[in-house]
Structure 1
């Protein structure tokens, strides 16, 4: 066994779905699985015993032990051969899981937990981890086509290289085809290209299209060689990136994006495209940070 997959649990249906997804990821990777629960009651200095703020059936600690045991059982049922451990850590979920991500190859969370509010499409824990986690973060959402491709957003940035690598690895582990999508407009081509032929691009968008298609081919070349068994389809449609990826997610089993791509601003931990797909994608979403962002 090598590697570690971490899954955050809070007893919600969303987190139990995340446990199943995490168990499958651990099985595919030959990795161990760690079930993690962030226990807030001691941090809030709530006295032991019944509390008007706590669950009615008994002490908060008893409830925690029950939900963790349920999650561990669900993981073992999903992937019987995986070594499953568990830990309960006092603290805020986002702080606890960010710390856990330092030793993990992947952190898995549900899109909404017990603290989710009706009307919000994704929980704050998922957004925070996608921005600050030290390893790729898989946010498990309802939907997706289990027979569909792994879809990856390509933008030609250095930060996006890790997302492509992760997407190829996931496609290989799942035995799935890979669909690479790079959406472009006349305004999001690299500045060097615009300076070299701005007038041509304004009057002849096919010039931009050819350049953007080359960008996709070059971005995928190295991983194509390392993963020859993965069937790859690339698309470079003209249009907005977030709309193209959200639409592609309808028939995907997984959508992979970089945390920040071309045009990202220093200091912003999560790009607008990543934010958009986390909130609106129709399948699970993996957010992968670049090397500089992880350090």
Structure 2
């Protein structure tokens, strides 16, 4: 089966930016690019042709044809050597793109589409796909810093291992440095084993930080051997995870997070940190779900 990148388009400026990013991703992967538009109106039995009183090029069908053609042409201008196909699928965007993700290695969408409500920083399609997509989802927000690093949030959870895998691969494809960022506070760090019965909760100075550094190193173990050409920088931050990742995104070309991490609530497919990144990061954000078994266990 050939490699495939899927990009969702709806005619918005945000989706056209996603097309450009998707074309670059397809070029790096030597993959096919499929431009997908979810066409809701046929399912609602709305007339698709031009109005009898309007111009012959009017109507919903013609508008869709134009926006898909524009997207395909833009993709080919960005990556002329990529094989670009397109499809228009009857249905609403959430279910159409979720179905498309089953055969893709990456789905790319804009942060907001034509149906976004004023005041929302990220659209429902992007959030839904990040939670339910069958492959990693790249949400194109701001363009990011062209020569910046790939940043990955590391929390040591089993589900987060997939995000680390993806981040190493992306850094290798882009020829970029990888910044592995782990944040901690005295409230979320595992308590050390008691050394003194009189002070069971005391820890030696620096002991918590050393433990968090070990967690970060262990989470990255084995990846460097598979990607020897990727330069990795460890960032251990004493502070809030959301704040640390948002700040790191200011100088990044890509931010990678797991869909859910250590401390996620049962039943939630998308954690609070990944949702915050979709809303507030200063560069494109890739959200990577864990293995299906891990996700099922987390939602039991």
Task: Give the TM-score range, shorter chain.
Answer: over 0.9
Equivalent residues in 2 for 1:151-166 (5 A)? 151-166=151-166
- Rounded Cα–Cα distance in structure 1 between residues aligned with 2:261 and 2:56: 47
What corresponds to 1:222 in structure 2?
Answer: 222
Shift of residue 45 of structure 1?
1.7
Of stretches 171-180 and 201-210 in structure 1, the one that deviates more from structure 2 is 201-210
What corresponds to 2:108 in structure 1?
Answer: 108
TM-score of the pair, normalised by structure 2: 0.92
Of stretches 130-139 and 219-228 in structure 1, the one that deviates more from structure 2 is 219-228
Unmatched runs of 5 consecutive residues or more in structure 1: none
Are the counterparts in 2 of residues 134 and 294 from structure 1 also a CA contact under 8 Å?
no
Which has the larger share of helix? 1
Of stretches 149-158 and 110-119 in structure 1, the one that deviates more from structure 2 is 110-119
What corresponds to 2:39 in structure 1?
Answer: 39
Are the counterparts in 1 of residues 249 and 283 from structure 2 also a CA contact under 8 Å?
yes
Which structure has the larger Rg over C-alpha atoms? 2
Cα distance change on mapping 1:238 and 1:90 into 2, 3 Å: same
Are the counterparts in 2 of residues 2 and 30 from structure 1 also a CA contact under 8 Å?
no
Are the counterparts in 1 of residues 151 and 254 from structure 2 also a CA contact under 8 Å?
yes
Cα distance change on mapping 1:95 and 1:67 into 2, 3 Å: same
Are the counterparts in 2 of residues 144 and 254 from structure 1 also a CA contact under 8 Å?
yes
Are the counterparts in 1 of residues 192 and 203 from structure 2 also a CA contact under 8 Å?
no
- Rounded Cα–Cα distance in structure 2 between residues aligned with 1:100 and 1:273: 26
- Rounded Cα–Cα distance in structure 1 between residues aligned with 2:235 and 2:258: 17
Cα distance change on mapping 1:294 and 1:60 into 2, 3 Å: farther
- Secondary structure in 1 aligned to 2:6? strand
What corresponds to 1:25 in structure 2?
Answer: 25
Shift of residue 272 of structure 1?
0.4
Tell me if 1:91 matches 2:91. yes
- Rounded Cα–Cα distance in structure 2 between residues aligned with 1:284 and 1:183: 20
Unmatched runs of 5 consecutive residues or more in structure 2: none
- Rounded Cα–Cα distance in structure 2 between residues aligned with 1:259 and 1:197: 36
Are the counterparts in 2 of residues 98 and 132 from structure 1 also a CA contact under 8 Å?
yes
- Rounded Cα–Cα distance in structure 1 between residues aligned with 2:233 and 2:107: 27
What corresponds to 1:251 in structure 2?
Answer: 251
Shift of residue 203 of structure 1?
5.2
- Secondary structure in 2 aligned to 1:183? strand
What corresponds to 1:188 in structure 2?
Answer: 188
Are the counterparts in 1 of residues 144 and 283 from structure 2 also a CA contact under 8 Å?
yes
TM-score of the pair, normalised by structure 1: 0.93
- Rounded Cα–Cα distance in structure 2 between residues aligned with 1:130 and 1:236: 26
How many residue pairs get aligned? The number is: 291
Are the counterparts in 2 of residues 152 and 181 from structure 1 also a CA contact under 8 Å?
yes
The alignment's C-alpha RMSD in Å is 2.2
What corresponds to 1:139 in structure 2?
Answer: 139
- Rounded Cα–Cα distance in structure 1 between residues aligned with 2:238 and 2:48: 59
- Secondary structure in 1 aligned to 2:87? strand
Shift of residue 116 of structure 1?
1.4
Cα distance change on mapping 1:220 and 1:92 into 2, 3 Å: same
Are the counterparts in 1 of residues 194 and 201 from structure 2 also a CA contact under 8 Å?
no
- Secondary structure in 2 aligned to 1:42? helix
Shift of residue 144 of structure 1?
1.3
What corresponds to 2:211 in structure 1?
Answer: 211
Tell me if 1:62 matches 2:62. yes
- Rounded Cα–Cα distance in structure 2 between residues aligned with 1:123 and 1:5: 21
Of stretches 151-160 and 116-125 in structure 1, the one that deviates more from structure 2 is 116-125
